[in-house]
Every structure is written in structure tokens, then in C-alpha cells.
């Protein structure tokens, strides 16, 4: 039988990656990255001197189309695959990344009358300027004892759809009025390819506060929150909701010509990037947690039951695989912390020594830190440099390192930050287990597990579990490709279920990371200290950590 192929498109924060995959075995045939021309827009609107307010993080939706137009033809060129043998496309995306569009799905930021208004642009997932709205929603929902809030650990953040939309209404009501739909970027890209607009149950469930059995928050809640929002879900957030992998449509003739594929190519409903990593790792069963590890970390878990777990980012039926509940928890910063330390805190002698040994600074510090024993440095840290996602869901928390002396070395600090992120993961695992949610196996995917062996060993020691690692760094893109194969269906050379496609197309490395019993004992002791620090700073509403942030905001240059 002639081989068939699918394409996975992974839209990240800075770039989009396309991978061409063999449907039969998941082998990566070719891949290509296109960086967004405007990147993350967090200072000035492109082509203007309009300065953005603090915590804005915007993007240009045209950058997403450039990924399709540049990277898809490139993987076809690299592989010499006949476009007629490409049967499906799947897409994953950072979330919640939203944009306002008109009735033709044209982004408002493309229109001259709205281009200079920041609220007409894409709001990236890490747009935190809607935190005030998120706080108000949380407080009001708690007062009303809204049951939906418990499915998100008791608190949502500025990353969710509703706070972002409410911010537009509060700060730019004219943009809100001109908007026909607020859409997730993943759904918009799929619509640009197919001419059909549907909402993914993954994005709607985790970030849109939608539930398969109950729907959205009630009209009564929205009316009481702000009467202007009363009809929001029936109007500007309307749209059919379908599970990831469902066939939304086929490439339009115009789009097929632009990206070099055939018009009959199936396009799947999209998925959030971390959630795609579950499929790309090969996990389709309950009780297996997948750590998607990069600049931040998401902890994904499939289950056959819904349990309300504190501090999680959501539990959604059909969120990843139809018929199963998918839980999401996470850490707001992991690789970002190590990158910050290397870029901002490493002395010149370390840079020189790394250069002499022909190592990157990360590699050098990993080597030196690996020579230390757990507990030897006397340090402990909190991994909250970008706030805390689980279990406290608090963007106002910040990083901390304790125990430094005049003898403290950079490699000791580096190791302490790795250990802190491992402690954060253990906190997440224990939070689930306390609620009776089964976790039997641990998997890791993303860039970090392939680059930093010390990190993975420390994680295994801290959580006292064996860790299996995906065979590829393109896990999310592979997961998206799996959805493309399901959208195509077995009659066209693909698969009829996500479970079948996942088991055939995903692969793990042969090597695993097993706990070292001696280290496990030491980390048990250190973890108790991490928990004590976490409870002090994370559970109290008025600590020095919170007061310092208020002082910073008060005296920041340009603050009103």
C-alpha cells in the first residue's frame, strides 16, 4: 500500500513548527520552524509609537498564516512527498490565545480603523493585564458559590477567555461592540484553512469555562457580574463545539494552493499545545501523568472520573480523548528560571570556564551541579518566578532562594532551582493523590527532558517514581499530526480513533530515569521544608512577598 502522511502544526509563543509524519508508524519525515515576524508584542504596537500598558502580551495573527505558507511547503520540499499522499492536518496552539474578528472572521487589527487599538490584536496566553478582571470573577463566583469554579481548582486567572474579553469591554468598549466573535487562535487558524468555524472542546473546556454536560456559566451569573456580558456566550462566543480530532472540514482551494497541498486534505479540530503532548508521548490510558516540560510545565492526566481538585487548571470531559476526563495542572516557570539564571546571574569566571571546556553555560552548570549531593548546598528555593499555577493559582507570587552564604556557588544555586521545580511537580502529584485521583506512571516530553539529564534524575528522586521520556522533542507537533490522521479516517489511510492512532504513531525512548534510594531519603527531608515555605507564602494573603510587589508597582517608573 502506498504510504500516507499527515502534517502537525505546533504554534508556540515565539514560532510555529511543522512536522510531516508517516501515518503508519509516526516516523518524522521532515520538520521546519517559522519564527513570527512580530514575535511577542509587549512594548509597542508594530509600526507605531503606541506604548503598551504593563502586562500586555499581543501577537499578529498574520504571523500564524506565515507559518503555514512557509513551513508546509518547506517540509514537502525536504521530503519530496507527493502532496496527494498527505491526508490530514492537525493543529495545536498555546492557550488561551484569543482574537476579535468580524463576521467574515477577519481580525480587527487588520482594519485601519482598529489597527492602532491594542485591544484589536491577538491577546497571547501570557497576556496578564486582565488579572483584575480575573480576580473580580473569582470573588463574585465564590460569593455566589458557582459550581463551575470548582472544576478549575477554585480560581481562574488572566489566561482564561472571560477575563480577557471582559477587559476589552472595560477598556475598549468600541472594540467589543465591533467584534462579531472572540475566537481562540487555534479555531481561527483551522477556520482559515477550511472556511468552517467550530470551537475545539479542548480550548473551550479549559479556558472558555465550557462543560460538556452543563455548558457555559449561566446567563444569570453573567448578568449579575456585568449586565453588558449577559448574552456573551450566545453572541460573541457562540459556535459549535467539537472534540479534538473531529474533522472540521477540508482545505479550501485557495489555502491548498498557498501551502502546496490538495483541496481534499482533512483538517482536524485543534487542541492546546500541552494537551497535544499527551498524545505525542503515546499516552491514551488513565493513571499516566505526562509532564510537558519547557519554559513552563503542564502536568496532564487522563482519568475515567471527574474529581474536583484544588488549584488545577481544569478538568474537561473530551478535553483530549473522547469519553475520558483530562486534568491539567502546571508550573508557570521551569526552563524560564534556568534561562533567567544563566542570562542574569552567572559570573564571568563561569562563562570563561564553560568556554574553555567547549560547553554551553547550561551544560557546564549541569556538570558542576551533578557533582553535588542533595542537601549539600544548604539551599532551598521556591519556583514562583512567574507566579504559581498549581496549587495556588496566584500570579502575584514570586521566586525565592533561602540559605545562601558568602560561600554559595552558582552551580549550587542552579541545582537548587532545578530541585525547586521538582518539588513543585511533587506538590502537584500529591494534590491529585489526596483527592483520590490515580497516578501510576510518569512521562516527560518537551525540550528539557532531552537536554538536561540531571534535571530528570532529580525529578525521579524527588517524586520517587520512574520517568519515561518521549523519543522526540516534537511531541506536541506529533500529537497534532495524530489528530490529522484521525480526521482523515481509516478509509483514507488514517485512523478512526485517537487511541488507535496514538498507539501506532507515538514512541518512547528506551532509557528511563529511576529513583536513587539514597537521594530519595534526603529529598523527603528537603521537601518538608519546601512545603513549609510554600504554605507560608502561598496560603497567606499578606506576606512580605505580596507587599514587595505592591511597593514595586507603586514606585515603578511611569506608574500612575
The full DSSP string for 238-273 is: ---EE-TT-EEEE--HHHHHHHT--TT-EEE--EEH
CB contact burial 211-229 (16+ within 10 A = b; e otherwise) = bbeeebbeeebbeebbeeb
Closest C-alpha to 430, from 519, 334, 528, 333? 528
Tens digit of each residue's pLDDT (9 = 90 or more) over 181-213: 999 999 999 999 999 999 999 999 999 999 999
Please tell me the predicted confidence (pLDDT) of residue 395: 80
Cis peptide before 391 (omega within 30 of 0): yes
Its pTM stands at 0.92
Number of CB atoms found within 10 A of residue 509's CB: 13
Partners of 32 in the beta sheet? Answer: 18
d(CA 139, CA 58): 27
Please tell me the predicted confidence (pLDDT) of residue 556: 84
Please tell me the predicted confidence (pLDDT) of residue 252: 98
Please tell me the predicted confidence (pLDDT) of residue 560: 45
Listed in sequence order, the residues at least 6 apart from 550 whose beta carbon sits closer than 8 Å to its beta carbon are none
Please tell me the predicted confidence (pLDDT) of residue 541: 84
Closest C-alpha to 328, from 437, 179, 469? 437
The side-by-side arrangement of strands in the sheet containing 98-101 is 58-59, 122-123, 98-101, 181-184
Please tell me the predicted confidence (pLDDT) of residue 84: 97
Task: Tell me the three state secondary structure of residue 467.
Answer: strand
Distances in whole angstroms, Cα of residue 506 to Cα of each of 90, 100, 470, 480, 482: 15, 35, 8, 11, 9
Closest C-alpha to 319, from 152, 556, 532? 152
Please tell me the predicted confidence (pLDDT) of residue 310: 87
Residue bearing cell 458559590 = 145
**444 backbone dihedrals φ, ψ, rounded to 5°:** -135, 145
For the chain, residues with pLDDT lower than 50 are 560
| Structure-block grid coordinates of residue 19 | 512536522
**Under 8 Å between Cβ of 512 and 453:** no
Amino acid at each position: 500500500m502506498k504510504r500516507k502522511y499527515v502534517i502537525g502544526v505546533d504554534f508556540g509563543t515565539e514560532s510555529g513548527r511543522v512536522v510531516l509524519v508517516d501515518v503508519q508508524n509516526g516516523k518524522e519525515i521532515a520538520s521546519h520552524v517559522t519564527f513570527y515576524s512580530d514575535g511577542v508584542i509587549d512594548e509597542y504596537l508594530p509600526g507605531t509609537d503606541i506604548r503598551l500598558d504593563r502586562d500586555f502580551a499581543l501577537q499578529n495573527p498574520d504571523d500564524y498564516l506565515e507559518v503555514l505558507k512557509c513551513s508546509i511547503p518547506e517540509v514537502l520540499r525536504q521530503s519530496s512527498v507527493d502532496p496527494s499522499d498527505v491526508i490530514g492536518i492537525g493543529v495545536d496552539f498555546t492557550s488561551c490565545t484569543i482574537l476579535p474578528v468580524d463576521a467574515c472572521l477577519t481580525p480587527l487589527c487588520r482594519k485601519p480603523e482598529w489597527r492602532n487599538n491594542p485591544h484589536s490584536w491577538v491577546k497571547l496566553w501570557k497576556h496578564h493585564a486582565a488579572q483584575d478582571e480575573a480576580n473580580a470573577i473569582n470573588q463574585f463566583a465564590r460569593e455566589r458559590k458557582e459550581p463551575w469554579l470548582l472544576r478549575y481548582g477554585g480560581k481562574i486567572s488572566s489566561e482564561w477567555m472571560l477575563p480577557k474579553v471582559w477587559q476589552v469591554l472595560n477598556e475598549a468598549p468600541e472594540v467589543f461592540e465591533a467584534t462579531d466573535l472572540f475566537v481562540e487562535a487555534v479555531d481561527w487558524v483551522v477556520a482559515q484553512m477550511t472556511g468552517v468555524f467550530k470551537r475545539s472542546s479542548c480550548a473551550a473546556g479549559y479556558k472558555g469555562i465550557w462543560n460538556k454536560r452543563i455548558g457555559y456559566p449561566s446567563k444569570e451569573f453573567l448578568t449579575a457580574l456585568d449586565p453588558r456580558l449577559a448574552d456573551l456566550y450566545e453572541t460573541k462566543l457562540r459556535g459549535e463545539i467539537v472534540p479534538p480530532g473531529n474533522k472540521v472540514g477540508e482545505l479550501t482551494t485557495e489555502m491548498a494552493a498557498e501551502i502546496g497541498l490538495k483541496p481534499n486534505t482533512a483538517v482536524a479540530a485543534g487542541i492546546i499545545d500541552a494537551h497535544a503532548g499527551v498524545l505525542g508521548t503515546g499516552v491514551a490510558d488513565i493513571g499516566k501523568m505526562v509532564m510537558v516540560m519547557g519554559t513552563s510545565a503542564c502536568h496532564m492526566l487522563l482519568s475515567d472520573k471527574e474529581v474536583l481538585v484544588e488549584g488545577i487548571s481544569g478538568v474537561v470531559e473530551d478535553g483530549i480523548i473522547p469519553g475520558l476526563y483530562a486534568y491539567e495542572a502546571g508550573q508557570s516557570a521551569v526552563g524560564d528560571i534556568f534561562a533567567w539564571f544563566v542570562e542574569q546571574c552567572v559570573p564571568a569566571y563561569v562563562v570563561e570556564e564553560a568556554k574553555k571546556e567547549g560547553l554551553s553555560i547550561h551544560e557546564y552548570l549541569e556538570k558542576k551541579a551533578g557533582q553535588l549531593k542533595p542537601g549539600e548546598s544548604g539551599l532551598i528555593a521556591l519556583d514562583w518566578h512567574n507566579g504559581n499555577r498549581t496549587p495556588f493559582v496566584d500570579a502575584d507570587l514570586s521566586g525565592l532562594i533561602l540559605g545562601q552564604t558568602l560561600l554559595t556557588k552558582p552551580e549550587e544555586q542552579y541545582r537548587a532551582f532545578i530541585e525547586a521545580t521538582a518539588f513543585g511537580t511533587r506538590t502537584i502529584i500529591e494534590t491529585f493523590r489526596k483527592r483520590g485521583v490515580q497516578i501510576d506512571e510518569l512521562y516527560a516530553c518537551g525540550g528539557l527532558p532531552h537536554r538536561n539529564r540531571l534535571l530528570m534524575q532529580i525529578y525521579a528522586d524527588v517524586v520517587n517514581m520512574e520517568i519515561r521520556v518521549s523519543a522526540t522533542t516534537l511531541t506536541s507537533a506529533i500529537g497534532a499530526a495524530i489528530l490529522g490522521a484521525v480526521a482523515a479516517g481509516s478509509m483514507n489511510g488514517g485512523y478512526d480513533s485517537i487511541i488507535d492512532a496514538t498507539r501506532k504513531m507515538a514512541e518512547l525512548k528506551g532509557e528511563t530515569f529511576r529513583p536513587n534510594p539514597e537521594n530519595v531519603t534526603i529529598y523527603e527531608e528537603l521537601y518538608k521544608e519546601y512545603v513549609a515555605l510554600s504554605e507560608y507564602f502561598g496560603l497567606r494573603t499578606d506576606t512580605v512577598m505580596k507587599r514587595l510587589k505592591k511597593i514595586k508597582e507603586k514606585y515603578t517608573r511611569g506608574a500612575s
